[in-house]
Amino acid sequence: MGFPRTLIGLWAAFAFLFAAPVMAQEKDAFSPEQRKQLESLVRDILVKNPKILIEAMHALEEQQQQERLQAASAAIRQNAKALMDDGFSFVAGNPKGDVTLVEFFDYRCGYCKQMQPAVLDLLKQDGKLRVVLKELPVLGPESVLAARAAIAAIQQPGGKYMAYHNAMMAFRGKLDEAQILRMAKEAGLDTDKLKAEMASPRTSGIIQENLKLAETLGIEGTPAFVIGDNLVPGATSPDTLRMLIQKARGG
């Protein structure tokens, strides 16, 4: 059975489009009249079938997304220690858990705040889950200030980081220094020591390391989750996180 003329025409049109760069180098491949006819054919097909462009763009977007995720998976494997055991990020849940979930977040990110209950529920429900929290301040000076305070809080004894982290995640409003220090005091932190550590080169270095790692993984915003060798960019459903955790367990 022969192909319908429409399919032959589409094939010719797309063959022309994809071959255009080669044709540009081979000036004698087609005569001016032949080129004019081909261009007219392409234009006519696309005008009569505009959905082709939309479908092609969607297919290209899906392909590019898959390529980004594959590149991220390779980068995750290559940077496993920096992700899972960097020596400075706060670890919640079971420190010896069989699966690690890494979250990159920003305290001014609305989507991060939306995902916070899901992360806390996972910690409550899954006693074998290990969660690494990485401050990634990408939304301006207030984000950087809050990230500095949270990183500084890890250095204080008494395990007050998580209460402080939860308070800042729950906070709605301007995250200026006064609010950040108020919540720190309410969480039981020494605010004088906190301010000193916030300004330290160590804190600055940690932020730079997190930003560099996020760039290496192709993370362009917050939140972003890493589970196994999977990168989940943006907010997602709790079921997706559970599925990836189960997958990382070999289930």
How does pLDDT run across 103-136, given as a tens digit for each residue?
A: 999 999 999 999 999 999 999 999 999 999 999 9
Kindly report, residue by residue over 158-205, the tens digit of the pLDDT.
999 999 999 999 999 999 999 999 999 999 999 999 999 999 999 999
Do 37 and 101 lie in one domain? The reply is: no
Contact 241, 122 (CB under 8 A): yes
The answer to whether residue 238 is domain-embedded is: yes
How many structural domains does the chain have?
Answer: 2
What is the percent of the chain with per-residue pLDDT over 70, rounded to a whole number? 87
User: Which of the pair, 161 or 36, is modelled with greater confidence?
Assistant: 161
CATH number at residue 240: 3.40.30.10
Q: 194: burial class by Cβ within 10 Å (0-12, 13-18, 19+)?
A: buried
Do 28 and 97 lie in one domain? The reply is: no
Do 137 and 233 lie in one domain? The reply is: yes
Do 97 and 26 lie in one domain? The reply is: no
Q: How does the average pLDDT of the chain come out, rounded?
A: 87
To which residue do tokens 């402080």 refer? 164
Do 129 and 19 lie in one domain? The reply is: no
Q: What is the DSSP string of 108-145?
A: T-HHHHHHHHHHHHHHHH-TTEEEEEEE---S-HHHHH
**Is residue 207 over pLDDT 60?**
yes
User: What pLDDT, on the 0 to 100 scale, is given for residue 251?
Assistant: 66
The answer to whether residue 74 is domain-embedded is: no
The answer to whether residue 104 is domain-embedded is: yes
Q: Could you tell me the pLDDT band of residue 38, with boundaries at 50, 70 and 90?
A: confident
What is the percent of the chain with per-residue pLDDT over 90, rounded to a whole number? 69
Domain span including residue 23 = 5-49
The answer to whether residue 70 is domain-embedded is: no
Do 153 and 218 lie in one domain? The reply is: yes
Angle (nearest 5°) at CA 244 between 154 and 117? 50
Do 45 and 84 lie in one domain? The reply is: no
Do 138 and 234 lie in one domain? The reply is: yes
**Which candidate, 100, 121, 103, places its Cα nearest to that of 111?**
103
Do 96 and 136 lie in one domain? The reply is: yes
**Is residue 1 over pLDDT 60?**
no
The answer to whether residue 236 is domain-embedded is: yes
Do 113 and 227 lie in one domain? The reply is: yes
Kindly report, residue by residue over 210-240, the tens digit of the pLDDT.
999 999 999 999 999 999 999 999 999 999 9
The answer to whether residue 59 is domain-embedded is: no
The answer to whether residue 211 is domain-embedded is: yes
The answer to whether residue 131 is domain-embedded is: yes
Strands (E), 24-138: 90-93, 99-105, 129-135
